[in-house]
Each structure stands twice: as C-alpha cells, then as structure tokens.
Amino acid sequence: MPDYMFSPHGSLASVLHGTKEPLKWKVRFKIALGIAEGLLYLHEGCHRRIIHRDIKASNILLTEDYQPQISDFGLAKWLPDKLTHYVARPSPSSWLPLLWFSPSPSRARPCPKFSRQPLCVFHGRHPPHLL
C-alpha cells in the first residue's frame, strides 16, 4: 500500500485547470521533474519494478510544497526482473501527434502518457487543446 503525504493542493489537474492563479515556472518545472523522478523510481528503483499505465494530471497529487506524488495504481503491473522492456497499447489520444506519424514504432517513447504531462504542466491546458 503506497504511503501518501497530505496533499492540500489536490491533484495536478485541479491545480492546472482550477480557478486559482497560474503556477510559476519554477513550480511547474519542479512538478515535471518530480513526476519524471517518480516514474524512474517505479521503473528502475523499486525492489519490484512497477509500470503505472495510467499517468495523467488527475493521478498526480501535490503536497503543500508542490512535490508530486503518483497515485492510482489500479492499472499498474509488476515488471518481471527478466524483462527489460514493456510494450503497452495506449489509446491513440495518449500519443503526441509527432509520434502518430513516426515512420517506425521503435521511435515511440516508452511512456506515451508521460510525454504529454510536461505539456500539461507547462501550458496549463488539457492535452486535447495542445494537439
């Protein structure tokens, strides 16, 4: 069971799309970096590696100092020790447009939903408005 700190700011989605004033760039960068570090820990640092499979703004909780916490592991999978790669089959809306037209699937990023998160964080808009 994950251990979460209190998240007074709620989810990243509520902060980005709420009525409060926009986040400063330094805070946005801290959030994006924290999400990347959290995913790296899940993929490579855990005793049993975890693939989250549902990274999105509503599944990122923010502590009082805007430290991101990855939540909602309902779709998560264990990555067996012997596997070095995991191929997910995300919905087309999960991929950035530049990846839709990639000449080779091997050029696709291993975590397509995460590739949208920096866009969400830095622009403060839902991904469909960015595509």
Lowest mean pLDDT among 21-25, 66-70, 98-102, 123-127: 98-102
Query: What DSSP designation does 21 have?
Result: P
* 41 in Cβ contact with 49 (< 8 Å): no
Is 82 within the bounds of a domain?
yes
* Residues in contact with 105: Cβ distance below 8 Å, sequence separation at least 6, in sequence order: none
Residue 57 has pLDDT above 70, yes or no: yes
Is 3 within the bounds of a domain?
no
Mean pLDDT to the nearest integer, 21-47: 88
The CATH number of residue 95's host domain is 1.10.510.10
Between CA 56 and CA 126 the distance in angstroms is: 10
> How crowded is residue 69: how many other Cβ atoms within 10 Å of its Cβ?
19
The helix, strand and coil proportions of the chain, stated in percent and rounded to the nearest 5, come to 45, 10, 50
Is 17 within the bounds of a domain?
yes
Is 22 within the bounds of a domain?
yes
- The pTM score is 0.63
Is 76 within the bounds of a domain?
yes
Is 113 within the bounds of a domain?
yes
Mean pLDDT to the nearest integer, 119-126: 61
- Annotate 84-110 with b (16+ C-beta within 10 A) or e (fewer): eeeeeeeeeebbbeeeeeeeeeeebee
Query: Active-site residue numbers?
Result: 54
Is 1 within the bounds of a domain?
no
- Which amino acid is it at 87? V
Count of structural domains, the chain: 1
Residue 110 has pLDDT above 50, yes or no: no
Domain that holds residue 42: 12-130
Alpha helices (runs of H) in 52-130, residue ranges in sequence order: 97-100, 112-123, 127-130
Is 7 within the bounds of a domain?
no
**SS3 state of residue 68:** strand
Tell me which residue of 86, 111, 108, 81 sits closest to 97, measured CA to CA: 108
pLDDT one-digit tens code per residue, 58-108: 889 999 999 999 888 777 777 776 666 555 555 444 444 444 444 443 333
